[in-house]
């Protein structure tokens, strides 16, 4: 079944329209700006306008000291900038989380749509686990998606043409990733997401082993920390290739915990990907130029990372 990108983007546009209200609150941030700037500049006391910048420099306190007039000017400039580019406020992780969580809590029919996924392909417990995380309002993984987005933005043909590129995000669970892509200049009309369940009309209900889209419908496929939930990842890879246009890009990441899949149940069908080499092998001769890849560095074990990112690779579809 083909899903129209254009006809289902209205609600994501409405999300972004919520943002301008934030600048009204900037009227109350003068002291906060002063505090932050002084902290960054190592100025531990209020700036005295009788002191010269030269004097402060001699005291080793020059930093980013701000006068009250400086703070007021910055506040006014921020207000004007947000009026012009309200979507960019959603680049702030906590703002993006607040928008997505507010949308989720406001949806009257949330979680009313569940995919009848093929149990032979989707790993046991995948749906239950993700529903459980969502129902407890666990919108905590807010930084990790940037690990896939930023390598994409580093590619010239993405950065310079992102407003026209069609993007499919597989398994986002919430609208946070959609909102983030909009905040970096992608057009909401061109963004679709798909998951096993949905509370939003920006997220289609579907199975990555049988994606509800036409051949070659997307320029970019984002599959973050999802492929580990598949018991037939070759089928999932084939579907991603099908809906990605020739010359398009695939951004894939693996879950750090993929090794657990070997010990859960006895119905393993496919080899589990554990490295970027495995990902390239999975996509076979259709994997073209690799733009970015990163496998976990032993010097930075998962225990040291706030949001583990696992293996990451961005490559071209031939």
Q: What is the DSSP string of 280-316?
A: HHHHGGGEEEEEEEE---TTS-GGG-SS----EEEEE
Q: How far apart are CA 72 and CA 70, in angstroms?
A: 5
Return mean pLDDT, the chain: 76
What separation, in Å, do the N-terminal and C-terminal C-alpha atoms of the chain show?
24
CB atoms within 10 A of CB 30: 15
Structure tokens at 49: 């306008």
Q: How far apart are CA 133 and CA 138, in angstroms?
A: 5
The residues that bridge with 251 in the sheet, in sequence order, are 222, 314
- Are the C-beta atoms of 293 and 251 separated by less than 8 Å? no
What is the average pLDDT across 179-204?
A: 92
Q: What is the pLDDT of residue 85?
A: 83
Q: What is the value of pTM for the model shown?
A: 0.76
Note the Cα 284 to chain centre separation in Å. Answer: 26
Which residue carries 């398994």 as its tokens?
171
Dump pLDDT digits (tens) for 87-97: 888 898 888 88
Q: How far apart are CA 278 and CA 170, in angstroms?
A: 19
Q: What is the pLDDT of residue 48?
A: 52
| CB neighbour class for 194 (10 Å; exposed up to 12, middle 13-18, buried from 19) | buried
Measured CA to CA in angstroms, residue 7 lies from 3, 4, 12, 17, 315 at distances of: 9, 6, 11, 18, 29
Domains of the chain by start residue, with CATH: 6-14+90-317 (3.40.50.150), 17-85 (no CATH)
Dump pLDDT digits (tens) for 121-137: 776 777 777 777 777 76
Q: What is the pLDDT of residue 76?
A: 77
Q: Looking at per-residue confidence, does 198 or 141 come out higher?
A: 198
Q: What is the pLDDT of residue 20?
A: 47
Structure tokens at 209: 């082993």
CB atoms within 10 A of CB 296: 17
Has residue 55 got a pLDDT over 80? no
């Amino acid at each position: 079944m083909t899903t129209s990108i254009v006809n289902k983007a209205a609600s994501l546009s409405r999300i972004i329209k919520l943002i301008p209200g934030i600048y009204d609150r900037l009227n109350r941030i003068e002291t906060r700006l002063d505090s932050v700037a002084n902290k960054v500049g190592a100025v531990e006391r209020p700036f005295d306008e009788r002191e010269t910048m030269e004097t402060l420099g001699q005291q080793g306190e020059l930093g980013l000291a701000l006068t009250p007039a400086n703070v007021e000017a910055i506040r006014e400039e921020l207000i004007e900038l947000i009026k012009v580019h309200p979507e960019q406020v959603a680049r702030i992780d906590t703002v993006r989380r607040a928008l997505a969580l507010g949308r989720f809590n406001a949806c009257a029919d949330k979680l009313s749509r569940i995919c009848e996924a093929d149990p032979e392909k989707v790993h046991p417990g995948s749906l239950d686990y993700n529903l459980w995380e969502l129902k407890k309002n666990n919108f905590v993984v807010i930084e990790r998606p940037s690990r896939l987005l930023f390598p994409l933005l580093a590619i010239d043909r993405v950065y310079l043409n992102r407003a026209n590129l069609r993007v499919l995000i597989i398994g986002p669970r919430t609208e946070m990733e959609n909102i983030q892509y909009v905040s970096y200049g992608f057009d909401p009309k061109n963004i679709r997401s798909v998951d096993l369940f949905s509370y939003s009309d920006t997220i289609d209900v579907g199975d990555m082993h049988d994606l509800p889209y036409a051949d070659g419908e997307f320029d970019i496929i984002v599959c973050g920390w999802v492929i580990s939930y598949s018991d037939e990842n070759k089928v999932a890879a084939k579907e991603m290739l099908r809906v990605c246009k020739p010359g398009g890009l695939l951004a894939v990441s693996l879950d750090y915990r993929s090794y657990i899949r070997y010990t859960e149940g006895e119905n393993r069908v496919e080899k589990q990907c554990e490295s970027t080499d495995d990902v390239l092998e999975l996509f076979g001769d259709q994997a073209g130029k690799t733009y970015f890849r990163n496998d976990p560095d032993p010097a930075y074990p998962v225990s040291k990372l706030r949001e583990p990112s696992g293996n990451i690779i961005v490559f071209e579809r031939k």
